[in-house]
Amino acid sequence: MRILGIETSCDETGIAIYDDGQGDLPEGIVAHRLYSQIAVHADYGGVVPELASRDHVRKTIPLIKEVLSDANMTPQDLDGVAYTAGPGLVGALLVGCSIGRSLAYGWNLPAVPVHHMEGHLLAPMLEENVPEFPFVALLVSGGHTMLVRVDGIGQYEMLGESVDDAAGEAFDKTAKLLGLDYPGGPVLAKMAENGRAGQYKFPRPMTDRPGLNFSFSGLKTFAANTIYKENERITSEEEKVQVHADIAYAFQEAVVDTIAIKCRRALEQCKLKRLVIAGGVSANSALREKLTVITKKLGGEVFYPRPEFCTDNGAMIAYAGMQRLKAGVDTDLTFKATPRWPLDTLAAI
Ligand code: KG4
Ligand code: ZN
């Protein structure tokens, strides 16, 4: 079976075709394309929802045509259409939902609404080294930071989440304070490579008490105060470059340490050894390295998607959609965009 996946929940239009390997083709992604709206939003320092919706309107259909052509397929080669139904920006979601539902109707195929975070969570299943259930999943993106116990598809127990900013949001806000363009997460990470250890000590929020929740807004404030103080003192451009790299290093180290402490705690609490990490921030190499070390120490293993499937993409939606399609979907012709949609309310399959 083959399914088309459509992702339009935020600022990337992602389209992919996934094949389950039961026919002539090997299991996996047959074709995928991503159009990022970064340039559209960069001047505003963040995603402008109305501009995001308009750009999805422009790009979704052409990208679907391109992906079908890349795959050398026509709609008759498909068995379903999956689209992100939430959570996300309502206008952006509505574009993917209405296009996905309409194409499925026009092509006489089942339509499959997909939960964006379930897509992220299952993205590591597209890799060679597939994690077995049960495992602990760390979902770290621009909008979410969650620790979830996963016993199977749709069997999600929330262990902890951020009480304020998401990890990616903290990266982006701190990057902005350092004068970097949106989305600053990956640029800050690059800058941190030139930073020196031990120059600044950032707090590790909420690690001194039990529990698996996170809080990242204090780190951003700490970064703001440090940058302000240092900018007052700095006398040359050269010094500023080094100081900013040192601050980026210390900030990233604090986020990574905090996440690692909570991941270790979650694995111990659940008596599990497998850790899955997904979502945009899971592309961060310092985080990957640290989590590899801690899981190894526990005799376990960490699983993650390839970097291009860490951030938003159509492949993860096609994969999650295929699992849901096989479990049976509604034939209802209505569609609904759900901007807020708790992950642990999904049905088990
Ligand atoms: O999953 P995603 O593409 O979109 C959401 O669903 O939010 O995640 C985007 C987030 C942004 O905040 C971005 O700055 C962050 O992931 N990000 C990173 C890195 N790559 C992406 N943060 C830190 N280091 C990275 N290498
Ligand atoms: Zn995402």
On whether both 147 and 292 belong to a single domain, the answer is: yes
Exposed/middle/buried for 337, CB within 10 Å: 0-12, 13-18, 19+?
A: buried
| Span 105-114, pLDDT tens digits | 999 999 999 9
Looking at residue 196, what is its pLDDT? Answer: 98
Do 31 and 119 share a domain, yes or no?
yes
What pLDDT sits at residue 278?
97
Q: Does 300 map to a domain?
A: yes
Ramachandran category for residue 246: left, alpha or beta (phi over 0 → left; psi -120 to 50 → alpha): alpha
Ligand 2 centre to CA of 9 (Å) is 8
pLDDT digits (tens, 9 = 90+) for 326-344: 999 998 999 999 999 999 9
In a shared domain, residues 330 and 287: no
Give the total number of structural domains in the chain: 2
Could you tell me if residue 39 is inside a domain?
Answer: yes
Alpha carbons 161 and 22: distance in angstroms, whole number: 38
Length reported for the chain? 349
Instruction: Establish if 128 belongs to a structural domain.
Output: no
pTM: 0.96
Expressed in angstroms and rounded, the spacing between residue 76 Cα and the centre of ligand 1 is 35
Ligand nearest to the CA of 116: 2
Average pLDDT value for residue range 44-60 = 96
Calculate mean pLDDT across residues 243-258: 98
Q: Are residues 50 and 151 in the same domain?
A: no
pLDDT at 108: 98
Q: Are residues 182 and 319 in the same domain?
A: no
State in Å: Cα 142 to ligand 2 middle: 7
Over range 182-208, report the average pLDDT.
Answer: 97
Considering only residues 72 and 43, tell me which one the structure prediction assigns the higher pLDDT.
72
Distance, C-alpha 45 to centroid of its chain: 19
Question: Do 177 and 85 share a domain, yes or no?
Answer: no
Question: Does one domain contain both 229 and 107?
Answer: no
**Considering only CA atoms, which of 162, 158, 7, 14 is closest in space to residue 88?**
7
Mutate to test the pocket of ligand 1, among 178, 193, 281 (most ligand atoms within 8 A of CB): 281
**Does residue 286 share a domain with residue 170?**
yes
Average the pLDDT over 119-146 and give the result: 97
Which protein residues are within 6 Å of ligand 1, measured from CB?
10, 141-143, 168, 171-172, 183, 185-186, 189, 279-281, 283-284, 311-312
Contact 163, 215 (CB under 8 A): yes
Yes or no: say if 322 and 82 are a contact pair by the CB < 8 Å rule.
yes
The pair of structure tokens assigned to 246 is 């040192």
Among 244, 264, 245, 266, smallest CA distance to 256 is for 264
At 275-319, the pLDDT tens digits run: 999 999 999 999 999 999 999 999 999 999 999 999 999 999 999
Q: Hey, what are 160's tokens?
A: 């902890």
CATH number of the domain to which 22 belongs: 3.30.420.40
Q: Is residue 247 part of a domain?
A: yes
- Give the torsion sign (CA, 265, 267, 270, 271): negative
* Residue 327 placed within a domain: yes
Strand, helix or coil for residue 293: helix
> pLDDT band at residue 151, thresholds of 50, 70 and 90?
very high
Looking at the structure, tell me whether residues 97 and 189 fall in a common domain.
Answer: no
Same domain, 7 and 79: yes
In a domain, 42, yes or no: yes
Contact 191, 245 (CB under 8 A): yes
Same domain, yes or no, for 151 and 280?
yes
- Confidence band of 60 (pLDDT split at 50, 70, 90): very high
Give the other-Cβ count within 10 Å of 231's Cβ. 13
Is 64 part of a structural domain of the chain? yes
In a domain, 61, yes or no: yes
Q: Which domain holds residue 198?
A: 133-304
**Which listed ligand is nearest to 280 at the C-alpha?**
1
Q: Are 96 and 112 in the same domain?
A: yes
pLDDT of residue 262: 98
